A and B are shown apart, each in its own frame.
Chain A
């Protein structure tokens, strides 16, 4: 790319044509206006078509207007008006087409995803603006006259159409220039990010090679941890880069931003964060595996060393015995403390529930033992119930034992009603049978005692 450039693009066709027509008109008016009054001389000046001459030209037309409509359509002015009328017709036809194409180009620019697309939209709007300016150039000699004519006839010749289109095109061009600038910034950001990512990946490869070399040379043993560490470092750096990219994109104007690129940046950041989490997890796993491996190796190594001599073996055995004693004592103390604590809590619970306290550690041990025993040998009924409910027989057995214990300890009332329910039903049935028999038989049936009729 060139660093500093100055460029001019001009359409000679339009300007030359305008110049020719202006020159011709000027000649004609000048010839016919030799003996005319000062107003017609002023008319000549308007054909030069320079903005600074507009004031005097307007004055000239105003003085012509005083003569009336017939006064304007005289001499060279008639020719000019005809030309202007044709041009106005053409202008009115082109007005809506121009606006439509402008809108399309602008829309294309806003939706663009690359610098080239935005640039082409800008170029198309700029070209359209140039065209509008050329049209304006064509009309400028006659604009003041047309305004007077609009005033006299009360008709709209569309003098403001060009101005409206021009204003719109200028606004759109300014907006698209900003869009192009945004696209360039976006491109720089994404190129910078891509470059950084590539650099990191390259560095990662180099580090992996270096790690493999160190392992080969025997300087490093924990290769997996080294590689996992490398992965984790790279993932962390990538997260930083993508966070930076998103922060830079966030600084751009929301309306002009390339939404696709923005969404991609968000996705990449999310992915990189996940990757980082995964790599950190892998690192932890590798470290743990390495730790276990080294402990095992130490154990084996120590065992081998001690096993090599009689005194070593003796030392190992005595140490193992001492350890076993210690473990036993420690376990005893631990279980005592556990059951004492539980008994105390149970006593408090009973007192709170309005029952008698004084639960001992032995009671708690008994309860635990009952549960364990039940769980180790469930009954057939419990197995059937477990199958029906979809749970394990051990659970059912423990549940039953718990219920029994609750009843025994007074937390729960025994289910007497259900147990005696059949008795009521049976006595009712028996009474019915006795009544029926009494009805059937002449003599009442005596259900108790001995003897007969």
Chain B
């Protein structure tokens, strides 16, 4: 299945990999495995942190505050309607989690506090995405140096399939963070995932960074072979 989040044979990455293979003395499987680990590391590195003050949180907050206020059984709402959308969302989640909805009895001051907590829960995803990438790297035999997590949980969050020497060489890394919708009890698979919003830009940036990394290796060697000039380059 091909979806928006599955990137197969990234065009520029493959071009760079072709050149890299010609110039390095590595086998194809080794080279691909090395590059996949680098992509996993870099994806984790470039995944945008989501704290209370991050742009992701700001986005979520703006979306919740801006939820449309519809008429309830033909009666138009009056007065301060700023948190009405937020009440509804929070009540909906309480209902899904098997808790009793609170109606509109949050109170104005209390609503602000509850909304902050609600958003901070939603904005925790970046951490899980990073753990997913760490598991992807671990599948290739490399470990992240920092962080200790439950092993079973980690395996659920991500992984990878290393390339083996063969005529057709295949390798992949995947990240399962955000696969389950924990707003429901029991949690159910969710499509499309909310983790896509934070995770996919990180992965794309990781791939681009690794492409640059390969050209840093390739270009000086080509220049040396063709023009006999030695030197190092630094890409912006």
Would A6 and B170 count as touching, CB distance under 8 A? no
Do the beta carbons of B1 and A115 come within 8 Å of each other? yes
Asked if B225 and A8 sit within 8 Å, CB to CB, the answer is no
Tell me which of A5, A7, A12, A15 contacts B166 (CB under 8 A): A12
Expressed in whole angstroms, the minimum distance between the Cβ of A55 and any Cβ of chain B is 11
In this assembly, does A393 line the interface, its C-beta being within 8 Å of a C-beta of chain B?
Answer: no
Which residue of the partner chain, among B14, B27, B129, B189, contacts A8 with CB atoms under 8 Å? B14
- When distances are taken between beta carbons in the complex, the residues of chain B under 8 Å from A180 are 2
- Asked if B168 lies at the interface with its beta carbon under 8 angstroms from chain A, I say yes
Tell whether A2 pairs with B174 under 8 Å between CB atoms, given A8-B32, A9-B8: yes
Q: Are A5 and B17 in touch, CB under 8 angstroms? A: no
Q: Is the CB of A45 within 8 A of B226?
A: yes
Minimum distance in angstroms from A275 CB to a CB of chain B: 28
Task: Tell me, yes or no, whether A10 is within 8 Å of chain B by CB.
Answer: yes
Judge if B6 is at the interface, Cβ distance under 8 Å. Answer: yes
| Contact between A5 and B14, CB atoms less than 8 A apart | no
Q: Give chain A residues whose Cβ lies under 8 Å from the Cβ of B168.
A: 9-13
The contact of A3 among B7, B196, B225, by CB within 8 Å, is B196
Q: Which of B74-82, B92-100, B176-184 is found at the contact surface with chain A?
A: B176-184
> Once bound together, how far apart are the Cα atoms of A3 and B198, in whole Å?
12
The proximity string for A residues 24-56 relative to B, scoring 1 for CB distances below 8 Å and 0 otherwise, is 000000000000000000000100111011001
Q: Does A19 contact B (CB under 8 A)?
A: yes
Contact A119 B2 (CB under 8 A): yes
CB <8 Å contact, A9 and B132: no
Q: Which of B49-57, B115-123, B138-146, B199-207 contacts A (4 or more CB under 8 A)?
A: B199-207
> Which residues of chain B have C-beta atoms less than 8 A from A126's C-beta?
9
Determine whether the beta carbon of A2 is less than 8 Å from that of B18: no
Q: How many residues does chain A have at the interface if contact means C-beta atoms less than 8 Å apart?
A: 32
Provide the bound-state CA to CA distance between A122 and B9, in Å.
13
CB distance from A8 to the nearest CB of B (A): 5
B17 touches A10 (CB 8 A): yes
* Contact for A12 among B6, B29, B173, CB less than 8 A: B29
- B-contacting residues, A113-128, CB 8 Å: 115-116, 119, 122, 126
Residues of chain A with a CB closer than 8 A to B172's CB: 5-8
Name the residue of chain A whose CB is nearest to the CB of B178.
A3
Q: How far is the CB of B6 from chain A (nearest CB, A)?
A: 4
How many whole Å from A436's CB to the nearest CB in chain B?
A: 105
Q: How far apart are the CA atoms of A180 and B36 in the complex, in Å? A: 26
Distance between A192 CB and nearest chain B CB, rounded to angstroms: 11
Alpha-carbon distance between A3 and B5 when the two chains are bound, in angstroms: 6
Could you tell me if B2 and A53 are in contact, using CB atoms closer than 8 angstroms?
Answer: no
A450 at interface by CB-CB < 8 Å: no
- A206 CA to B17 CA, complexed, in Å: 60
How close is B180's CB to chain A, nearest CB, in angstroms?
A: 10
Interface centre among A9, A56, A180, A184 (most CB of B within 10 A): A9
CB within 8 Å for A3 and B179 given contacts A9-B168, A11-B167, A19-B22: yes
CB < 8 Å neighbour of A56 from B9, B10, B226: B226
Within 8 Å CB of B171, what residues of A? 7-8
A441 within 8 A of B: no
Given A1-B191, A12-B169, A15-B28, are A7 and B225 neighbors across the interface (CB < 8 Å)? no
Q: Pick the contact of B10 from A1, A4, A6, A19 — CB < 8 Å?
A: A6
Q: Which of A5, A13, A116 contacts B167 (CB 8 A)?
A: A13
The complex places the Cα of A184 from the Cα of B168 at a distance, in Å, of: 28
The minimal Cβ–Cβ distance linking A167 to chain B, given in whole angstroms, is 15
Minimum CB–CB distance from B128 to chain A (whole Å) comes to 11
Contact between A7 and B14, CB atoms less than 8 A apart? no
Determine the distance from Cα of A8 to Cα of B193 in the docked complex, in whole angstroms: 23
Hey, which chain B residues are within 8 Å of A4, CB to CB?
5-6, 129, 132, 174-175, 177, 195-196, 199-200, 203
A-B contacts, 10 of them at CB < 8 A, read A4-B200, A6-B7, A6-B172, A8-B35, A8-B36, A10-B28, A10-B32, A11-B167, A50-B22, A126-B9
Extra contacts, 9 of them, besides A4-B6, A6-B174 (Cβ < 8 A), are: A2-B5, A3-B176, A3-B177, A7-B6, A7-B170, A8-B8, A8-B35, A10-B170, A12-B168
**In the complex, the 5 A-B pairs of residues with the closest C-beta atoms, listed nearest first:** A7-B172, A2-B174, A4-B175, A5-B174, A12-B28
